[in-house]
Amino acid sequence: MKTIGLIGGMSWESSAEYYRLLNELVRERLGGLHSARCILHSVDFAEIERLQVSGEWEQAGEVLAEAGRGLAAAGADLLLICTNTMHKVAGQVQDAVPVPLLHLGDATADAVRAAGLRTVGLLGTAFTMEQDFYRDRLAGHGLTVLVPEAEGRAEVHRIIYEELCLGIVDDGSRAVYQRVIDQLVADGAEGVVLGCTEIELLIGQEDSPVPVFPTTRLHAEAAVTAALATG
């Protein structure tokens, strides 16, 4: 089994989900007392969030690149950035390390295509929904990506940072997300990408009339498949 390196802490709420999922998936596939070989570097999210807001993406990328270098030096055979938003600097991290970085957008797009869908709604932070780096990654796999209108984007973003990243799961906020999802479906979305690793704490398949694609789980599944691959 290869060792999975996790660049986490953004937020630690979703990083805990990564750790749980990786271990559950390895146990499901190998049975018995098997668990995942993994190493976690958890950054201070307050530092990263400050750099996001101020637009200092290169500096934020260097923080993650340094974490990646440390993980590779510690024995990681492959890396995950445990957040959708910070895939904006995925290329910077990959360039800094000698091991492969498994891109979350690729794992998500593969799952959408495998389901036979081509048009998806995207929920995430404002950075993820409004900037090109993530939407273009999905579009590169032949997908059409829809995002909520401005008011919906603002609410989705606020709930992530003010609630989910702090471990707050509120039924009222779930209803807000459901309304946003319903509008995306009305606009033509055949499925919805939960493009922030915290959203899975709030939204499940039962909350959507169309298939949802939980990016944390999909990323973890791709990582376990890679870790258990022979050769």
Cα–Cα nearest to 37, from 226, 217, 197: 226
Active-site residue, from 38, 125, 196, 215: 196
Query: Choosing from 82, 83, 108, 125, which is the catalytic residue?
Result: 83
Structure tokens at 33: 């007392």
Distance CA 119, CA 138 (A): 10
Instruction: Tell me, yes or no, if 225 is annotated catalytic.
Output: no
83 is catalytic: yes
Please answer whether residues 7 and 67 qualify as being in contact, where contact means their C-beta atoms are separated by less than 8 angstroms: yes
d(CA 168, CA 87): 24
The alpha helices in the chain, defined as continuous H runs, are 12-30, 45-53, 57-73, 90-96, 104-114, 126-130, 132-139, 150-162, 171-186, 215-228
Catalytic residues: 83, 196
